[in-house]
Amino acid sequence: TDSTYRTLDAFASTLVNRPLDQLFVVDEMERLANTRSSFLHGHVDATNTALIGYSMGGYGALIAAGAGLTKASVNSSLSAPFSTLAIHQSNSASHNALIDERIKTAVVFAPWGMNVGAWDKQSLQGLRIPMFFIAGSDDDVSGYENGVRAIWEGASNTDRSLLTFDNANHTPGA
């Protein structure tokens, strides 16, 4: 809930819950892979997971992969009420506990957030898995130079690649 086209008014809830939802899906896939009556039984290896996300899904994947939020973004006007977004703050115990060893890589298409201060070079140092970034050079939602490219540049603690579609907007590769 709170993250569909019919519930767009609850944007702050998406900021808090997107990475948690993604990790919930990994947990459920692992559970179903280990349940004899499940169609996934024996077909999924959750210990070797790749997260793939577009826009807010990319935002969530970055957090789940180790990029904690800046204190400024946790306290911004876009943030969720009652300091609930603080669970994703860089170097907090709650964010450090969120990092899941089963996630081995992430592919992020036009991840949202850098252009509004969600991360900085220090908070991006938590990214330690290989990453593939995909962006449009004219992204009017996530930004390019101060958005996706800035995340890619700041993620200097890991192997990463950036594929840029020249003159593409927020739907690169679509």
Give the tens place of pLDDT for each residue, 53-67. 999 999 999 999 999
pLDDT at residue 1 greater than cutoff 70: no
pTM of the model: 0.92
pLDDT at residue 119 greater than cutoff 90: yes
Q: State how far the Cα of 76 lies from the Cα of 49, in Å rounded to an integer.
A: 32
pLDDT score for 7: 66
pLDDT at residue 3 greater than cutoff 70: no
Q: State how far the Cα of 97 lies from the Cα of 89, in Å rounded to an integer.
A: 11
More confident call, 3 vs 148:
148
